[in-house]
Amino acid sequence: MIGGGKIRLNRWQQAAVAVGSAVGSLLDPRRADLIAALGETTGKPAFERVVERMKKSPEGRAVLLERPRVISAQVGHAWDLPANTFGAAYARFMGSRNFSPDDRPPVRFMETEELAYVAMRAREVHDFWHTLFGLPTNLIGESALKVIEFEQMYLPMCLMSVVGGTVRFTEKQRKLFFQHYFPWAIRAGMQSTDLMCVYYEKHFQEDLEDVRRKWGITPAPAAPNQNVP
């Protein structure tokens, strides 16, 4: 598998891992390994549909053929690009938060190498989407991005993450999310191109606003109350 060993599960084991991961990630949303396991054990049909869409797209086919990875060894040049480019915006996003592209957990529960790669790709382009949509990494921003990810891939994990996120909102956060971010995220996810079919690394040197227009991306509007965390 991608970066880790494959674990074969029967249906009962798969269900047990899915339930355990769902409960664990709800109790501790910082557990990226549990969120990853939940996505893999509940997302096979969705990932299969993503694969079929990618095979019908020129860029998507190139991604499946070449299997680029969003790791430091392959995207480190983004830090050297001009400030107006998509690649530089991604580098600023990562650097300002002290994030590393190498921190994603491995894929363990997919049946084929192709599905494992697509699951890993979906995990690794997450920060590209943060950059393109201009979303923060706080609870509201992550929940809004999960709405877009659900619109794009129909992964059950994304829907469950939104539900889990809203449960942890304060009343002020909940009002801001449903009145401001949620309607925008629904529209943004539907209006964008098929974002899993984009070979992002080949567009690093392009102007950020140009790629947003090309891919139909509407950045998140400024929140009316910036004091909400």
* 12 Cβ contact list (under 8 Å, min separation 6): none
Q: What is the pLDDT of residues 73-130, one digit of tens each?
A: 999 999 999 999 999 999 999 999 999 999 888 887 778 899 999 999 999 999 999 9
With 50 as the cut, is the pLDDT of residue 18 above it? Answer: no
Nearest to 161 by CA among 137, 186, 144, 177: 144
- Residue carrying structure tokens 């580098």: 91
Nearest in space to 162 (alpha carbons), one of 171, 120, 151, 172:
151
Q: Give, to the nearest 10 degrees, the angle between helix 32-42 and helix 113-124.
A: 130
pLDDT tens for residues 179-197? 999 999 999 999 999 999 9
